Structure 1
Amino acid sequence: ETYCIILLILFSVFADAAELKEKTIYTIQTNSASSMQDLDETILQLSNYKDLWIHYEKIQKQYSVMIGVFKQEREAQYLLNSLKQTIPSWKIVRSSFADIYYWVPKTERVKLSDIGYSDPIHSQGFQSYASVQFPWTDSMTTKNGKLKLFLKISPLLNERSSIKVMVEKIPYYNKRIRQLGNDPVIEIQLDRLEEHTIGEKLDVEIYGYFSITDDRCADEPSGNLWMVIEKDSYLQYTVNSSIQSLKDYFKTIHETYNISIKENETNFVEASIKLAGFLGSISQTKSTRLKFSKISGPSKNIFIGSQPKDIELFGSNLYVTPAGIDFLINKFSPLLPFSSVSIDSYNNSLSELPNEISFEDLGYENRVMIGIGDLTASYPFSLQEIGGWPKHLFCTLVYNHTPIHEEERSFLKIKMNKTLFETKEVTAQGGQKSISFEIPERYLQPKNTLEVIFSYYLNRGDCKGSLPQMEVSIFKDSFLSTKGFRKNAPLSIGSYPSVFLGRGAIILSDNTPKFYIPIARLVEMLGQLQGVLKLLRLEDLDKQQYDYAMFHMSPDKIHQLNPMVDMEPSFEIINPFSQKSLLKLSSDDSVAVLQVFYNKAGTPILIYSENDNASPFKDKNLLSQQSLNGNVAIYKDNTWYPMEIGQKLRVVYPHQTDFEYYWVRYRLIICVLVGTLLIVFLFFIYHRLTGN
């Protein structure tokens, strides 16, 4: 049965590829010449654009540079309109994939910061080790490729210390420290990897063999054996063919995606917000990767609309229906090998969350580490991935290691978000073992990093002999487990994606880009992956059952929602203890307000509102999860001001000069005056009764 399924998938993939060649496409014909060399200037001029290819006309013996691979003429026209400012004579032609004579290679780069490394990689010990895996697709090649590593190393290392770099387990670089200096830049040409088969990832390993004296046991505890790999280090590669599968389309998550909606209809706007959350959930960087426009030549375009196939790939352009987006979110893995998908029936309903989620389900394979010192494996995950904010979160690690000599010592250390909370001594024989532990709730954040560290230290005389290494495997069937989720979990701007789970409602003042793009950017930036999300009108909200709601309303309408901060016509943030005014704003100021809270029914609510010319989302997403930890954030003069409204700070409205206003504004003074009068009154009564 398994073999039949494999053969069926292989047959479907080949049939999919054959069908792809016969597809009709629309493209833009630019300049033509009798030789390809004469087109170099045109290719250079268009080097930033996706999907450049050469068409050869046999009768006229002419080569033409073509831009774009589009399913419909309308999208090609969008691109042509922007290009006509450069060359008015270019035109749209009808073609097919079979007419692609030569795909123009495109050189691209991916930095460590693009694939999740928000901080430099730090490694320590006399056998320092670091491993980086870059995403790899079938359309990539190492021709004209290179690896550039920006390092910092300890200045105390002796001249015998060295650094080795391996790419795909092949040694590419090995030099003594005296040849490098303290801040070396290592550049490795990767052309000879062309004949090597690369899998899902391109594996890079950096080894540091460090010493200060002849006694490594004395050097190790000094803390002076270290190297740092900067996050600006990058891999350069060449794309030499079009994207053939959905797997490869979404694998290069460091690229920019442009979302294009034909019409601002409710189902298309709703789908674009879901898609933004999906792209944010697979992204590994904090900066935004989304654009919203009719078309973007340098970006991958995703066109949302009605079409016969729910998901269909044309080069760097993806055509998808709202049902296709639901399918992407919930059933992504099975459709990876294909370039198009048709959905006959799909039940987009909430599924029961499992009590356990394996490391494999989180996207991690078996991890093997070899060395001496601290061998660290990091596992980032979000509370959203495990189903919400857990009442109790447990981890079970399944691992194997080589035997530990009785004279050596080894420890297992567990850290959550860089805080050590569990340790265990590793002793005796190797073999497969497991350990279970609870992760304290106080260490949890919306996005977390679990670090598993095996520390192996030698204790053999003066350490001048041979140095046996420890080998550890952490298996992918290790898992996280929960015992229920908190209904009233801590709610802040940084944590709301782990609270906003289940059936969601989105309410906009209008289905226009002005209102749906900021909400889409919010769900993208915080990786809010939700399959059951409905765009509703405000008057229909009470008629629907929902677990959370997100609003983007104009400032003159948010008062209907009983918000924590009402923008109309003016408001003031004060410290109730010092009576100091922290912020004064009026309706004339350019300001945006983001706020989250539980309403009277206990439902989590998010409200976003902005005045004209105050959007933080117009050019780039300035929202940072790490800096916005309060329940209210106010955006003014290109800066977010996070704050905790409630017990710490108060909002007062100068135009509402009733008792509540004066009480909030001057309650400390009022309490002092009332207290003073009460003391005087009691003293008077005491004096009358006692005569003293």
Structure 2
Amino acid sequence: MTQKARQWALWVAGLLWCCGPTAVHAAEVISLQRLGYDRSVLLQGANPRLDIGIPAPLNGVDPEASFVQLRLDPSPVLKPTSTVRVLINEELMGLFLVRDLRQEPVVRVPIPSLARSERFITLSVQPFLSISDDICADLNTGNLLLTVGRDSFFELAPLVPDATVAGFLGRLYPQVTLVVPADLTPEAAEAALWLYSLLSHLFPQTPILWSNRPKQGAQVILEPANFTPHLQHQITPEGSRLRVAARREAILALYEEWKRAGLVSRGIQVTRVADLERALRANRLSLRELGIVDPLLRGFGSQSLVFNFNLSQLGGRPRDLAAQLDVIMNPVDGRVGDRLTGYVFLNGVLLRTYNLTGRTQLNETVTLPTRLLRRFNQLELRFDYGASPGNCQGSLTPLTLQVRSDSSGFIWSGYQAPTGELQEIPAVLRGSGQVWVGDPQLLPAAAYLVGALSRLAARPLLPTLEVLPKEEANLETGNFAWQVIVAGPDQVELNSPIRLGSQFEIINPLNRQVALAAQPQENLGLLQYFLLKGKPNLWLSWWGSDPALAERLSRGLADPRTRLANQLQGNVLTAYAAAPDLTQVQSWDLTPAGYRVRYPGRFSWQLLLWQYRYWLVLLLALLLAVGAWNTYQRLARRPESPTLS
């Protein structure tokens, strides 16, 4: 090769090296829907605020090609000179008049260059709305409204493609595929189960697909245990690839390093990882531990701070739950007629009210009734700032209020015992868990189910995996705190709500109408939750001849777009399946206070007693009345006079 040809080849190679990743790593579009906003966001009040944060690319963004597109629809009665500010990381990037938004509601603001220390991109939409010059009258109309459309989106163009492991974990994907080899050793099968559970936890809004073949888009590939490095991120023309060795240490390292900035190399060799099981906490959870950092309110009228929490974050269903509130605020002068009132709500139920006029601090402990708790809960602090009529025009001092996240939070004295209702899943799945599969082919169904639970849990569920032996196994004993069983009806015989050994019917005990009848020719997927010796058990099975029903049902639970896992109630879930979709998904309460199960051809004295309970009670009352009357007659009879002989 001549010198000129060699220089030409080196130039072409350098051009491909420089430009190739840029062409591969196209701009990423992140819509509000992908961030969990299923509906448009309605902002109410004189100066409400919407803050949305997303992870920033590790090497920064290209400000020439990165932007946020918003759809801002103002109320038609607003004053045309009302304004909407848009800030990116506290930097003003756009100021829009309501008059202009009525003509063109879709606006685009650029994303500026990020400082090296900035790990997130925070969008802040801050309207300043009015109808007239009287702010009090405006607030009372309830028409100070601005809607941020759910089709708004971020578009991020990274400066340099991020080929680190953190770069893979920091992105938001429409779907992630876990590629698993077809033939797995027992150790690799458990690693695959762990990896799917971990991915479901790390990407709670993203569908995770289990597959034996590579697909387009983001993929996590389970490699053999001897693969080095144990964690590796690659960028290919088909999408990002994260390769993970089938080792417990590699999967635990992926979780331990997830929230750190330590994953800065393309590949990581794992030496040793601390055990995932955390030490017992002191029955307290601060707002900072929930990811809420010193929230601030500033404005007029009625404003709310909403804190979302779930039972999994509390570690279970607590006893004697209370909320600690540490709030500071500027004083409201009651001498001129201004007033400030505080309210505390739990899941929409008013618990406490406070007269905060003239006060600068609220430091209280509020008891939260555990009967109001659900799987997902909402604690709301509402503050009503009412100005006197003379202060409603001109410059009105807004209320400024902040909650201290370290000294505010939840405290409780212990935990209630499991009740056997699906509402408490996965909060009660604490400690070591066990997964049983009736056949290795059922591993994807087990992974989908564990992933669905891990998606809702405070930390990923990483249970041990076993295959059911051919001979009957005693699943009621074992050194585990909870277990998941994925097996056919002929492989397991347990005291579950429904015995699957024969045909069954679910009936309404009040009118004796059949709500569901499992006919021999039908195919039905079932998920049952019950307690064995006080330990939670989940049994995923099917009725009929198609084991794929189990996988189809668990895949529907694992898909965050269906929200099936969020709505589980009662203790049994049934679903018919018309491939590839689920139909007639229903939850059943088969506890003693709910529906009843009848097995045609079998005598059930419990069901018979329930059906004829009123007649039995009436018969018993009649017998008691007759017995009482006979006793009364014997005791009330006059004694006979003695006769003289």
Match of 1:241 among 160, 181, 193: 160
Match of 2:607 among 652, 664, 670: 664
Asked whether 1:187 is paired with 2:107, we answer: yes
Residue of structure 2 in register with 1:561 after alignment: 494
**Alpha carbons 2:200, 2:452 under 8 Å: kept:** no
1:298 is the counterpart of 2:217 = yes
Q: Which residue of 1 aligns with 2:124?
A: 205
Other-structure match for 2:526: 593
2:515 aligned residue (555, 565, 582): 582
Gaps of 5+ in 1: 1-55, 67-96
Give, as a single letter, the amino acid of the residue that structure 2 aligns with 1:160.
Answer: T
> Secondary structure at the residue paired with 1:279?
helix
- Find the residue that maps to 1:362 and give its secondary structure: coil
Given candidates 404, 409, 413, the residue that maps to 2:339 is 409
The residue number in structure 1 matching 2:481 is 547
Task: Go from structure 1 to structure 2 and tell me whether the alpha carbon gap of 1:274 and 1:373 turns closer, same or farther (over 3 Å shift).
Answer: farther
The Cα of 1:441 is off from its aligned counterpart by: 1.1
TM-score calculated relative to the size of structure 2: 0.81
Specify the alignment match of 2:386 in structure 1. Answer: 457
Pairing of 1:44-63 with structure 2 (within 5 A): 59=9, 62=12
- Whether 1:639 aligns to 2:584 is yes
SS at match of 2:27: strand
Aligned pair 1:227/2:164, yes or no?
no
* C-alpha deviation, 1:253, in angstroms: 4.4
Please state how far the C-alpha of 1:667 moved relative to its aligned partner. 4.9
Q: Secondary structure at the match of 1:122?
A: strand
- Equivalent residues in 2 for 1:287-326, closer than 5 Å: 288-303=207-222, 305-306=224-225, 307-315=227-235, 316-320=240-244, 321-326=247-252
The CA distance in 2 between the partners of 1:318 and 1:162, in whole Å, is 45
Matches for 1:10-89 after TM superposition, within 5 Å: 59=9, 62=12
Q: Does the alignment pair 1:269 with 2:213?
A: no
Residue 425 (structure 1) aligned with residue 425 (structure 2): no
Quickly say closer, same or farther: Cα 1:304–1:374, change in 2 above 3 A.
farther
Change beyond 3 A, Cα 1:470–1:199: farther
Q: Does 1:467 align with 2:413?
A: no
Match of 2:309 in 1: 381
Task: Note the C-alpha offset of 1:365.
Answer: 2.7
**SS of residue in 2 equivalent to 1:144:** coil
Alpha-carbon offset, residue 641 of structure 1: 0.7
Q: Residue 677 and residue 194 in structure 1: after superposition, are their counterparts in 2 closer, same or farther (change >3 A)?
A: closer
Distance (whole Å) between structure 2 residues aligned to residue 426 and residue 680 of structure 1: 64
Instruction: Determine if contact 1:253/1:284 at 8 Å carries over to the other structure.
Output: no
Note the alpha carbon deviations across 1:314-345, whole angstroms, 9 max, x for none.
34333333222234445644564434251335
Partner of 1:519: 449
Assess if the C-alpha contact under 8 Å between 1:276 and 1:524 holds in 2: no
Residue pair 2:319, 2:416 contacting (<8 A) in 1 also = no
Structure 2 CA distance for aligned equivalents of residues 435 and 480 of structure 1: 11
Cα distance in 2 for residues equivalent to 1:108 and 1:556: 49
Q: Deviations over 1:535-568 (max 9, x none)?
A: 134437566311111111123223x122211334
1:593, distance to aligned residue in structure 2 (A): 0.6
Q: Percent identity?
A: 19
CA distance in 2, matches of 1:165, 1:378: 22
**Residue 125 to residue 318, structure 1, CA distance change in 2 (3 Å):** same
Contact 2:198 2:451 in 1 (8 A): no
Q: Is the 8 A contact 2:322 2:365 kept in 1?
A: yes
Shift in CA distance, 234/331, structure 1 to aligned 2, threshold 3 Å: closer
CA contact (8 A) 1:493 1:625 kept: no
Counterpart of 2:188, as a letter, is F
Corresponding position: 1:648 with 2:594: yes
Q: Secondary structure at the match of 1:319?
A: strand
- Does the C-alpha gap of structure 1 residues 440 and 533 become closer, same or farther in structure 2, counting only changes over 3 Å? same
* Cα distance in 2, alignment partners of residues 101 and 123 from structure 1: 40
3-state secondary structure, aligned to 2:426: helix
Alignment RMSD: 3.7
Contact 1:595 1:606 (8 Å CA) reproduced:
yes
Deviations 1:468-507 (A, max 9, x none): 2233333331343433433423443342101111111111
Match of 2:537 among 601, 605, 619: 605
Q: 1:220 to 1:685 in 2, by over 3 A?
A: closer
Matches within 5 A, 1:464-503: 464-503=393-432
- Counterpart position of 1:438: 367
Aligned partner (choices 201, 213, 216) of residue 135 of structure 2: 216
Task: Indicate the SS of the match to 1:489.
Answer: coil
- Whether 1:616 and 2:553 are equivalent positions in the alignment is yes
| Contact kept in structure 2, 1:143 and 1:237, CA below 8 Å | no
The alignment status of 1:164 with 2:109, answered yes or no, reads no
1:572 CA drift (Å): 0.7
Gaps of 5+ in 2: 1-5, 578-582, 634-645
The counterpart of 2:51, out of the listed 115, 118, 131, is 131
Aligned with 2:570 (options 630, 642, 654)? 630
Q: Between Structure 1 and Structure 2, how many residues are aligned?
A: 595
Amino acid at match of 1:342: V
Cα distance change, pair 276–514 in 1 and its aligned pair in 2 (3 A): closer
Q: Secondary structure at the match of 1:236?
A: strand
Shift of the 576–180 alpha-carbon distance from structure 1 to 2, 3 Å rule, reads same
| One-letter identity of the residue aligned with 2:311 | L
Rounded Cα–Cα distance in structure 1 between residues aligned with 2:163 and 2:339: 50
Cα pair distance change 1:639/1:623, threshold 3 Å: farther
Which residue in the other structure is 1:155 paired with? 76
CA contact (8 A) 2:302 2:383 kept: yes
Contact 2:72 2:101 in 1 (8 A): no
Asked whether 1:258 is paired with 2:190, we answer no
User: What corresponds to 2:642 in structure 1?
Assistant: none
Specify whether residues 272 and 671 from structure 1 end up closer, same or farther in structure 2 by C-alpha distance, changes over 3 A only: same
Letter in 2 for 1:632: V
Q: Deviations over 1:618-671 (max 9, x none)?
A: 5783452343211111011423111101221011122xx2331x7526852586
Q: In the TM superposition, what whole-angstrom CA distance separates every residue of 1:115-135 from its partner, at most 9, and x where no partner exists?
A: 233444332222232222233
Match of residue 111, structure 1, among 13, 21, 31: 31
- 1:518 partner SS: helix
Letter in 2 for 1:409: R
Q: Secondary structure at the match of 2:37?
A: coil
1:510 aligns with 2:439: yes
Moved more, 499-508 or 543-552: 543-552
Q: Residue type matched to 2:192 in 1?
A: S
The one-letter amino acid paired with 2:466 is L
1:468 partner SS: coil
- Contact map agreement 1:128 1:208 (CA 8 A) in 2: yes
How far apart in 1 are the matches of 2:320 and 2:232? Answer: 42
Q: 2: CA distance between counterparts of 1:355 and 1:678?
A: 50
Within 2, Cα distance between the matches of 1:629 and 1:478? 34
